[in-house]
Amino acid sequence: MGTDPFQLFEEWFAEARTSEPGEPNAMALATADSDGRPSVRIVLMKAHDPDGFVFYTNQRSRKGEELAHNPRAALLFHWKSLRRQVRIEGKVSIVSCDEADAYFASRSRDSQLGAWASDQSWPLASRAEFEKRYEDMKAKFEGMDVPRPPHWGGFRVVPETIEFWTDRPHRLHERRLFKRGADGWSEGLLYP
């Protein structure tokens, strides 16, 4: 068995991109507030490398607030077509402004305007109110590039553990666990 979990992730992710319907970069993101109350939702991974797994969001959203108070998270990729999962746990850092600006510029204009119009995760009186805010942003940025909102950016989950789970008949699954230590990654197995 090798000891480079990022190479293994890239191999699995390449297979998922060809076989998984929908969005193979969809991952469950689990966070917890300062009192330890957990919360989970699906987000899209937008970048990955040995430094970590990146997603973008409104930093004043529930997940953004939770990560500000408790900068640790867990991720789960579930590729049903491949009968595989990847679980990742680690510390979270904020991506650089340059990275956030570059990704924001790559988004569709409508998505950029939506980032300005939405107070993500906060109470909304009516759908009409949100649609009006969206139209107001459309008018505000008419004929110009839409800049990244100051409250919108990216988070990088820096893995401390990565588990690769493969479905096997009779629930005799294979679980490979990689742990980051001072000298790099070590690999072991877990009972199914």
Q: Which of 72, 171, 175, 176 is catalytic?
A: 171
Which tokens hold the place of 36?
A: 């330890």
DSSP 8-state secondary structure symbol assigned to residue 114: H
171 catalytic per annotation: yes
Buried b (16+ CB within 10 A) or exposed e, 71-82: bbbbbbbbbeeb
Give kind and range of the element (H or E) at residue 133: helix 127-140
Which residues does the annotation mark as catalytic?
A: 171
